[in-house]
Structure 1
Amino acid sequence: MKRREFIHTTALTGIGLSLPFANLFAKVDPNTFHSEEYRVLVFSLLKDWCDGMIKVQIINPSDPNVHGLLDCPACETIHGRVSDAVYPFFYMAEATGEKKYLDAGIAVFEWSQNVSQPDGSWTNDVDPNSWNGTSVFGAIALAETLKYHGDLLATGRRQIWTDRLGEAAEFIYRKFPAIDATNVNYGATNIYAMNLIGNLLDEPKYIALSKKLAAEVKKYFTAPNSLLYGEVKPSAHKLSEKGLPGVDLGYNIEESLNSLALYALHEKDEELLELVQKSLASHMEFMLPDGGFDNSWGTRMFKWTYWGSRTCDGCQPAFSLMAGYNLAFGTAAFKNTELLKRCTADGLLHGGPHYLSHGIKPCVHHTFAHAKSLAVILDHWDQMPTIDQSNPLPRAKADGLRYFEELDTVLFSRGDWRGTVSAYDAEYYPKMDLRQATGNSLGMLYHNKVGLLCVASLAVYRLMEPLNQQDAPGKDIALTPRLETFQEGEWFTNLYDLPASFSTEDQNGEIRIWGDVKLKNEAREILQDSASGFRITYLCSEKGMQIKAETRQVLKQQTSFTIPIISKNTEPVEQPEDHVIIITKPEGIVKIEANVPLTIIETEKGRTFNMVPGVEALPIKAEFVTQAVELRITVI
């Protein structure tokens, strides 16, 4: 339902809720705990987010249809899960003693009556027929509120909320009786939900189900890298044509592994703890040195935001609580939290590093979802090991090649350069092409001095989840570097060549990744009447990055290698020669050279912007003049 239709002409003013029990507050000084620097970062960011959510909260007690709702600055839809914010609001209320947070928490939870259903669920939208599986996340948020901060509620209201939790628990008990009831993130999350609520409400059947699901989920880790699989439809067990499982880094690292870690630590499930430790370590290899995640290949990368995934909760709980098993987990949690802070403005988390520079408004869903994770670790601080940045991330110190066979994806590192090449052919949803990086494409190029240089986006941006994604601003231009041509207006590119494969070698200081690809349309039909077969070669040394694309076939129509370079619209661009483009970034100068003329594709704001993963780019095209295009990227 449209937000305007729902709110009507309600005045967005009102009064706060009464607080007859303010003496229950206990102020907390965030500087009195271990890991002081991390604690101050987490606490201050959570407070900033809570204040930001209060700014957009509608307070109008005379109209229960809107009272307590978080009015999203970006979306014309009602976010039915706003009541998840009850937990971070209640944490902040108890930590600061400020009444405004308790008022906000009570109001936002009691707004959820607008999405409450007779079966005990909450729907993801005010439409009663919309998806209700997200009730598992709302149930966890309510349970954690009652467990850790329930004494802030008057007795009568606390009992009402507890009864409502019981109704939600019955629903998710029935909804997710097995790990593969739907995507793996729901079954995995229900392990923690049933354990948490079962202990809180003293209901043995919930605890029994959590143990059953915990035993099942141990079969959902890949070999040899222990990646959690099952983010694919119509079945969590579906394999691709290459026999590869459906894996998504964003959902795994920001949702499923959090719940598995919380459950395994509470139950002292050593077998599951070992699996979670291995899985976190493998997922951590995709974290860039600045704390961003490389989910260029993930099955659900249509919600990739560089810091994680749009509607998930954040990576902080698992990495922080498991840091005693691997000290680099603490570094990962710290650096990602710093990135979240850099992507925050006016109290709201923005969906990527360049939202502000391109004038994109933030969806409030990012903030209320990720605020929960910060509240979790603050409430578990005494159970956490010391968190600092003394142990480097794997990708910060990496050198050479790291191949993930379950993903047909390789990470490469040399000097300051980091990159990813993928031929992963898993498809999330067979009825809608949500093309992540594949076809031997360069899904990520990063330099330690200047940061992101290239990233993948969807080949075509689509709203797989319209209530959970923002519309694309302006013309949709894919960010994934690619070969492409148009035949009678139809797009042919290597991004649709799912059977493609590549080879690798690392000799004499130079990494070489190469493979043959075909130009195909979205229907996976090979281009006719012009060159369709090409070889793409990536060469990386300490001096720079080279890309070569060549064909032995006859080029009968205009074909190019297009390489969007990640760049804010404030960064100066020069083209001193027709085959050279220079971008001046705050941290250094990026030089792109080619053996053919380079053309900057015209865009409305001097840059294209893609919601995946929330960045601006300067789209550059190198047209084939002969049968080969060669590009070189250096950083000065």
Structure 2
Amino acid sequence: MTDYGLKLLFILPFVVFVSSTGRAQNASLKAAYAATLVQLADVLLDHQLKDKKNPDFGALQCDYDKVLHTRASEAVYPFAIAYKITGSRKYLDAAIRTGNWLIKQQEPNGSWKETPEEWTGTTTDQALMLILAWDHLAGRLGKTEKASWRNAIIKAADYLHKTMTPEFASINYVATTCATLASAARLLKDEKYSRRAKELAHRTISKMDEDGFLNGEGGRTHANKLGTDLGYSMEMSLWGLGLYAKLTGDTLVNNAVKHALKSHLYFIYPDGSMDNSWGIRSNKWTTYGGATSDGCQVLFSLYADEDPRYASASLKNLQYLRKNILASGLIAYGPQHEEVMDFPPCIYPTFTKAKNLAMAYELEKKQNRTLAKLPSEATGWVNHFKTVNVALLRTANFMATVTSYGYKDYKAGAKSKYMYRPAGGAISSLWVKGHGYLTASSVTEYSRPEPMSFPEVPGVKSLTPRIAFTDSLGYFTNLFEFDSRMEVKQGRTNRFEVSVSGELKDRNWLAAGVGYRMNYQFSDSAVVKTIRLIYHDARPVIKIIEPIIHYKGMVFTKTDAQTILIKAGDKLFRFKLLSGDAVLNIGKDAEHYWAPYPALKAFPLELELKPAEDSFTQEISYELSVVRMFSED
């Protein structure tokens, strides 16, 4: 491809064809996938070891920890598709180099360890990328190389055939393995892989609830696993099942995925961000998706013919993802990565999103797609997903997620990495039209369950809005309440009410004697929160904390004892105490309000309440509102 052709390729994805009415109608998703894929392939190529004298020739080195992640060599497929798109030999050479290095890392039993850890479940991801790359590279491999690649694929497929089950791994690995074994059966002409893929696929969809949410991402009860994570489902499991169904013609599995996708589509916000604020793996939420999961474009490409909204969701999420690409070319952990961290991201988000885009490019058969409004772009609705006790709603200016998701890792308890997600009726994400996230969420307590993925960031505080207190028994908050009760009501047009009740609890899910009832009133211009505290066995000082996402240029001004004005670009927000006896603090410990996942920082607003002397209950009401639009003239 000529230099001019490459330049055109990078322009095309952002050309949306407009009708005579001025309304966007069509876009070239295939060109959009190609452009971003080639861009990511270039940065991956920059990280490849190219000295032939180096025993790790062909590996990709991570800037963050200098590790040669075996999973990074899944870039073999993105490199192969970048070669197909551009015709440039550098991508062909890169694909063969990294494939050869990966094969040398294979264990005798056919698995790959997810270096620097011992986990071998990711063998399914590596094997699938080798299989998909085979069609594009086999004719370019030498005779010895070709035999080596084929043998590695057979060994990996046999390992997965023998080992992969929902008892062995979280459900996303099982779902991916369905696609891997179906692909292996096609390549190797061995039906034993197809039979095993079908068995695993049917076991996987048996773990879907009525709303289409897939269980099996969390900790073990006995041998089995439960727990839902929307991000891993959209970026891993559902496309794995969908690709398996496409390869095998399994209509039962295909219909299950189509049903699930209808619910999951609601969680693509109007700006294209993906709301995994509430899932059990939300400790890796980046706002565009997950840091180590693949991406949603492949899923939407598989089902693009079913509904034009899927093309819109795919394109919007891709455009949002692009905003998270750093100057270095690597994909960040979130929108404010360089503001909150002085070290580069791990290479994981870059190669996982690249492989997703490579698959999406190959599955997309149309040059142009008709676009349609996402559910989140329409206003005046609320959707309560009762199987997970999560509510989504949209008014003219606001979109919000309220979570009372009650999954518990009973066996691991407070040691579980899945039990620090927001819960207890928290608003885990609050988005404003034309602004972005006004509030978001992060883990209740930060830890490093996977040192490879979680950087050392001592002292960070949660971004999640919350009720909390600390006394001699410890730290108690609604975020540790996994038994909260939630009701959702729709009032007049674009007015919605969400009510939640529970107990303030510690990390061991033990209550200390303060109950709460929260009522949220959402309208086009405001969110009003009314909190009723019930002091039935303790009378501590309570703090209600509202961390406001602090983008560059925002100004917070306390105008009186009850009011804070927040200037943000062309918007003016107001935080106002409407009723109740509380002290309003501003910016306390602000330097600690940031998170690596999602890479955001916040400015804390805090209401401090002392218990009333003559009552066992206390009520407070406050609002966050859009005051007006204004110009910077």
Q: What is the TM-score of this pair, normalised by structure 2? A: 0.88
Q: Paired residue for 2:230?
A: 249
- The answer to whether the Cα contact below 8 Å between 1:299 and 1:427 also exists between their aligned partners in 2 is no
- The answer to whether the Cα contact below 8 Å between 2:166 and 2:216 also exists between their aligned partners in 1 is no
1:151-170 to structure 2, matched below 5 A, reads 151-170=139-158
- The answer to whether the Cα contact below 8 Å between 1:148 and 1:379 also exists between their aligned partners in 2 is no
- The answer to whether the Cα contact below 8 Å between 1:115 and 1:125 also exists between their aligned partners in 2 is no
1:375-394 to structure 2, matched below 5 A, reads 375-382=358-365, 386-388=368-370, 390-394=371-375
Q: Which of 186, 199, 202 does residue 173 from structure 2 map onto?
A: 186
Q: Which amino acid aligns with 1:400?
A: W
Deviation at 1:618, TM superposition (A): 1.3
- The answer to whether the Cα contact below 8 Å between 2:520 and 2:530 also exists between their aligned partners in 1 is yes
Q: Paired residue for 1:6?
A: none
Q: Which amino acid aligns with 1:536?
A: M
1:68-83 to structure 2, matched below 5 A, reads 68-75=58-65, 77-83=67-73
Structure 1 residues 79 and 589, CA gap change in structure 2 (3 angstroms): farther
Q: Which of 261, 279, 300 does residue 280 from structure 1 map onto?
A: 261
Q: Paired residue for 1:503?
A: 487
The range that moved more, 537-546 or 144-153, is 144-153
Deviation at 1:119, TM superposition (A): 0.6
Q: Paired residue for 2:348?
A: 365
Match status 1:459 vs 2:424: no
The range that moved more, 146-155 or 360-369, is 146-155
Between the aligned partners of 2:566 and 2:67, the Cα distance in structure 1 is 38
Q: Which runs of 5+ in 1 are unaligned?
A: 1-21, 240-244
The range that moved more, 134-143 or 395-404, is 395-404
Q: Which of 22, 36, 39 does residue 48 from structure 1 map onto?
A: 39
Aligned pair count reads 595
Q: Paired residue for 2:585?
A: 599
Q: Which of 438, 461, 465 does residue 481 from structure 1 map onto?
A: 465
Structure 1 residues 169 and 395, CA gap change in structure 2 (3 angstroms): same
Q: Paired residue for 2:631?
A: none
1:212-611 to structure 2, matched below 5 A, reads 212-223=199-210, 225-234=211-220, 246-345=227-326, 346-360=328-342, 361-382=344-365, 386-388=368-370, 390-427=371-408, 430-431=411-412, 432-433=415-416, 434-467=419-452, 469-488=453-472, 490-509=474-493, 510-528=495-513, 532-553=514-535, 556-595=539-578, 596-603=582-589, 605=591, 608-611=593-596
Q: Which of 608, 619, 628 does residue 628 from structure 1 map onto?
A: 619
Q: Paired residue for 1:12?
A: none
Structure 1 residues 123 and 550, CA gap change in structure 2 (3 angstroms): same
Structure 1 residues 547 and 28, CA gap change in structure 2 (3 angstroms): closer
Q: Which amino acid aligns with 2:486?
A: F
Note the alpha carbon deviations across 1:179-205, whole angstroms, 9 max, x for none.
454321122111110110111111221
SS at the partner of 1:527?
Answer: strand
The range that moved more, 141-150 or 105-114, is 105-114
Between the aligned partners of 2:410 and 2:169, the Cα distance in structure 1 is 13
Q: Which amino acid aligns with 1:545?
A: V
Between the aligned partners of 2:395 and 2:525, the Cα distance in structure 1 is 9
Structure 1 residues 494 and 160, CA gap change in structure 2 (3 angstroms): same
Indicate the RMSD between aligned Cα atoms, in angstroms: 2.7
SS at the partner of 2:620?
Answer: strand
Deviation at 1:463, TM superposition (A): 2.1
SS at the partner of 1:593?
Answer: strand
Structure 1 residues 574 and 41, CA gap change in structure 2 (3 angstroms): farther
Deviation at 1:614, TM superposition (A): 2.3
Q: Paired residue for 2:126?
A: 138
Q: Paired residue for 2:160?
A: 172
SS at the partner of 1:117?
Answer: coil
- The answer to whether the Cα contact below 8 Å between 1:229 and 1:236 also exists between their aligned partners in 2 is no
Q: Paired residue for 1:617?
A: 602
- The answer to whether the Cα contact below 8 Å between 2:212 and 2:256 also exists between their aligned partners in 1 is yes
Q: Which amino acid aligns with 1:598?
A: L
SS at the partner of 2:543?
Answer: strand
Structure 1 residues 219 and 518, CA gap change in structure 2 (3 angstroms): same
The range that moved more, 474-483 or 500-509, is 500-509
- The answer to whether the Cα contact below 8 Å between 2:71 and 2:126 also exists between their aligned partners in 1 is yes
Between the aligned partners of 2:201 and 2:212, the Cα distance in structure 1 is 15
- The answer to whether the Cα contact below 8 Å between 2:466 and 2:478 also exists between their aligned partners in 1 is yes
Between the aligned partners of 1:291 and 1:155, the Cα distance in structure 2 is 46
Q: Which amino acid aligns with 1:435?
A: Y
Between the aligned partners of 2:341 and 2:202, the Cα distance in structure 1 is 47
The range that moved more, 430-439 or 108-117, is 108-117
Deviation at 1:206, TM superposition (A): 0.9
Structure 1 residues 602 and 70, CA gap change in structure 2 (3 angstroms): farther
- Percent identity, please: 25
Q: Which amino acid aligns with 2:349?
A: H
Match status 1:38 vs 2:10: no
Q: Paired residue for 1:63?
A: 54
- The answer to whether the Cα contact below 8 Å between 1:179 and 1:188 also exists between their aligned partners in 2 is no
Q: Which amino acid aligns with 1:508?
A: R
- The answer to whether the Cα contact below 8 Å between 1:458 and 1:478 also exists between their aligned partners in 2 is yes
Between the aligned partners of 2:98 and 2:443, the Cα distance in structure 1 is 34
Between the aligned partners of 1:401 and 1:619, the Cα distance in structure 2 is 28
- The answer to whether the Cα contact below 8 Å between 2:31 and 2:367 also exists between their aligned partners in 1 is no
Between the aligned partners of 2:243 and 2:518, the Cα distance in structure 1 is 44
SS at the partner of 1:502?
Answer: strand
Between the aligned partners of 1:296 and 1:454, the Cα distance in structure 2 is 11
Deviation at 1:366, TM superposition (A): 0.6
- The answer to whether the Cα contact below 8 Å between 2:61 and 2:67 also exists between their aligned partners in 1 is no
Q: Paired residue for 1:13?
A: none
Q: What is the TM-score of this pair, normalised by structure 1? A: 0.87
- The answer to whether the Cα contact below 8 Å between 1:357 and 1:569 also exists between their aligned partners in 2 is no
The range that moved more, 394-403 or 425-434, is 425-434
- The answer to whether the Cα contact below 8 Å between 2:309 and 2:373 also exists between their aligned partners in 1 is yes
Deviation at 1:386, TM superposition (A): 4.4
